[in-house]
Structure 1
Amino acid sequence: MAISPTKYSEEELIPLLKRSDKQAYQYLYDHYAGAIYSVLCKVLKDTTKAEDALQDAFLKIWKNMDAYDPQKGRLFTWMLNVARNSAIDMLRSESRKQWEALSPGCTYNEAMITYQPPISGLDLRRYVDELRPERKILVEMVYFQGYTHEEASEILKVPLGTVKSRIRTALLELRAFFAPAELAFS
């Protein structure tokens, strides 16, 4: 009986996942669930809903692993998109139920046709570009390219603690762009 490695490279992990290797899935969950759960908590703003979305996301990842294409991006980025889409689906479902309860004469889809969110509020990269360079590169690597904090630390030759504190500071700065009044009271 071979002892499995305590750490898989992405190149080793993907074929095992595509063959539905249980140990590989356990490794995947153990190493990525925490980061994905944090994102889901931020999107859903409810820990119970985030737990449900996390479970749903990992089920979708398991069922759709063959859809993952390493040529299109990193595994973590793909998983994060699956999870984010699960959270968005959950929010849409709740909105649809609330809308139907409040407006029985009008369907949710008819109402949503006219709503267009302001593009300026959705352009996150524009705000990231305003960060200091040492923070901007880390946010881009971790949130847009799917690197872990550890990988960013190794690539940039920066201590892990520094990476984490710069990312935290960057996120606080980004938060100020979206909710300046909220920060004044915290």
Structure 2
Amino acid sequence: MQQDKLIEELQAGNQKAFERIYELYSHSTYGIIYSIIKDTSVSEEILQDVFIKIWNNASSYNPDKGRFFTWVLNIARNASIDKIRSKDFKNKKLNLKSDNFVDILESKTNFFGTIDAIGLQKYIDALGATCKSLIDLLFFKGYTQKETAEELQMPLGTVKTKNKVCIDKLRSKVLQ
């Protein structure tokens, strides 16, 4: 079944189409969630929530505004960031054992493993170091623009401007 037809069927409430969408997108969606959350069971819970949102909000997807996969990943990214910012999640993280801190510190610099999970590696490789850092922090690690400015030691306005420029560059490379 062609992707456009599959999406139309999903929007019409076809459960078989939803199952096929899950088969096609769950693995990469889980990869994005896990790269942000770093916890298997929480990532699995979020994945379920994401696909419930996809089912419940399928009619809100508009192909004129972007690709379906991007829409799915935005739902997953937003759900993951919401979880990270939740009080419950923060309290759980306060109770980490010391050996887990190594993984957290490594994840701050493990940008390439994250982007390779969704096949963007070759496109992001073509961007400069600043764009790579901005995209990593803002989109894969869930930093706010203010947090990104502090992390990269640059003015907030510069982060906002460079973010727009970098996303435009990435968009043009992906759509070539």
- TM-score, length of structure 1 as denominator length: 0.52
> How far apart, in 1, do the equivalents of 2:78 and 2:148 lie?
20
- Superposition deviation, residue 116 in structure 1: 2.7
Whether 2:146 is the aligned partner of 1:116: answer yes
Q: Which residue of 1 aligns with 2:107?
A: none
* Distance (Å, rounded) in 1 between the aligned partners of 2:23 and 2:90: 34
Q: Which amino acid aligns with 2:147?
A: P
Q: Which structure is higher in RCO with an 8 Å CA cutoff and minimum separation 6?
A: 2
Does residue 31 (structure 1) correspond to residue 31 (structure 2)? The answer is: no
The answer to whether structure 1 residue 74 and structure 2 residue 73 are counterparts is no
Does structure 1 residue 86 correspond to structure 2 residue 116?
Answer: no
TM-score (norm 2): 0.54
Aligned to 1:179: none
1:1-186 matches, within 5 Å, as 8-94=1-87, 98=91, 116-119=146-149, 121=152, 126=166, 141=174
How far the C-alpha of 1:9 sits from its partner, in A, is: 1.8
SS of the residue 2:86 aligns to: helix
CA gap of 1:23–1:96, structure 2 versus 1, over 3 A, is: closer
CA contact 2:84–2:90 (8 Å) conserved in 1: no
SS of 2:146 mapped into structure 1: coil
Cα shift at 1:34: 0.2
Computing the radius of gyration from Cα coordinates, the structure with the larger value is 1
One-letter identity of the residue aligned with 1:116: K
Contact 2:83–2:89 (CA<8 Å) still a contact in 1?
no
Identity, % of aligned positions: 33
CA deviation after TM superposition for structure 1 residue 94, in Å: 3.5
CA contact (8 A) 2:37 2:84 kept: yes
Aligned mates of 1:97, 1:40 — CA distance in 2: 16
The RMSD of aligned alpha carbons is 3.2
Change (3 A) 1:96 1:11: closer
